[in-house]
Amino acid sequence: MVVGAQAREIDTVVIGSGPGGYVAAIRAAELGQKVTIIERDAIGGVCLNVGCIPSKALIHVGHRYQEAQANTPFGLTTSGATLDWQQTQDWKQNQVVNTLTSGVAMLLKKHQVEIVHGEATFTDNETLNVVQEDGHELLQFNNAIIATGSRPVAIPSMPFGGRIIDSTGALSLPEVPKRLIIVGGGVIGSELGGAYANLGAQVTIIEGLDHILNGFDAEMTRPVLADFKQKGGVIITDAQAKSATQTDDEVQLTYTVAGEEHAVTGDYLLVAVGRRANTDTLGLNNTDVKLTDRGLIEIADNMQTSVPHIYAIGDVTAGPQLAHKASFQGKIAAAAIAGDPQAHDLHYGLPAVAYTQVEMATVGETPESAQANQLDVKVSKFPFAANGRAISMGETAGFIRLISDKTTNAVLGAQIVGPSASDLIAELALAIENGLTTQDISLTIHPHPTLGEAIMDTAELADGLPIHI
């Protein structure tokens, strides 16, 4: 404790107000806890303010801009479509981000969650020091939930600043760049690269692996890559970014491929090589909370750390850095604090989505994981090219794939690449969580004509009784 200061006693404190933190706070309040949430920046955290929400807004604008400019097969012709970038940015901030963040603030107020703006650090296992604009305050808590998220990883030879930007900077550029260089072909780099390619930028992706969009197999990424290259996008794999130099007007990246040095010049350089957990500034060294070698907080399946009354959720824990994972963990942590004996993370599948031009989504087992785990499975694939709704939309690229147990027909995994993949995957996540079989899906009446019908068609294919293929 800080000498001479009196700690204020509180019940449950949540550090961070992102999709994990604010959900945990609301659920804890619903379960009867008096909750205080501490946020050093803006309510809503990275996701709502400078992450998943504003990026999807710009991705949507890119889609609409392409639709307005593209030649269509169904007789609709548009000409003279223009983009008012300032209006786009104003809409993104004022009508999307601000609407959602103010909504979260309202929900916290509705549930009587106290909001404290400041930087929190642990002084011991029971006390936090919160540095605020006008001083600091000590808080002595009964329970704590760490939900501090993550931040972009910087490359030492190309520190952020000027025309070298992170994902946050990429969302607030003063103009659509004519040339955009991206180091890192993961989901963030590929999503933003696709968005700016749709908006007219010449995009070059530099990736150290032999492929981009790691986590999605080659069959899934094929239509994504085809679309990106059709728009003039360039992907350079097996490449090592070395250094970057910039002027007032442009930035040059030096990279090597097979030992040979190359350079590419752009208006901006986006570095998107991953994110690092925000655990190093929390004062966890003053506690008994155990960390992994990677700086992640070790947790049990009820989100409990090595200190029984301290919990951790979201990006500071192992596993995919996904907002919906953090939200789910937040509900578990709140329930565990409330004494619910069933508060454990026992989910079978965690959906993941890439909001590329052609969306991709996956949950549960993949063909590769099934083989690695020596599972006896059936792989069934139905193309959107055979779906009436997709044909009527002119969006026939991609497919739905089911991984099912050969003996029981239980759905073990699913992948979707194609229109509305991000929405369709939820049905299959539900099926996996509830142990449904392909017959359970095929015997469920799906409305016609819909994209969701393709899920039923894939299940019928798995059952050996396909109608539309």
Active centre residues (catalytic)? 448
> How many residues in total does the chain contain?
469
Dist. CA 168–CA 10, nearest whole Å: 34
CA dihedral 241, 213, 226, 222 (to 10 degrees): 140
Q: What is the DSSP letter of 284?
A: G
String of b and e for 346-365 (b: at least 16 CB within 10 Å)?
Answer: eeebbbbbbbbbbbbbbbbb
Residues 6+ apart with CB under 8 A from 75: none
Dist. CA 300–CA 356, nearest whole Å: 34
Question: What count of other Cβ atoms lies within 10 Å of the Cβ of residue 95?
Answer: 11
Instruction: Note the helical H segments in 146-287.
Output: 167-170, 187-198, 218-230
CB 288 within 8 A of CB 125: yes
Dist. CA 295–CA 279, nearest whole Å: 7
Beta strands in 79-238 (DSSP E): 114-117, 119-122, 127-132, 135-146, 150-152, 164-165, 179-183, 202-206, 234-236
Dist. CA 120–CA 93, nearest whole Å: 27
Q: Do the strands 179-183 and 202-206 form a parallel or antiparallel pair, or are they unpaired?
A: parallel
3-class SS letters over 295-346: CCECCCCCCECCCCCEEECHHHCCCCCCHHHHHHHHHHHHHHHCCCCCCCCC
Helix and strand tally (H, E) in the chain? 14, 22
Q: What is the DSSP letter of 24?
A: H
- In terms of Cβ atoms closer than 10 Å to its own Cβ (0-12, 13-18, 19+), residue 182 is buried
| Kind plus residue range of the DSSP H or E element containing 393 | helix 388-393
Cα atoms in the 13 Å half-sphere on the side-chain side of 313: 33
**Longest pairwise C-alpha distance within the chain:** 77
Residue type, 232: G
Q: What is the DSSP letter of 319?
A: S
Which residue's entry shows tokens 């590329």?
356
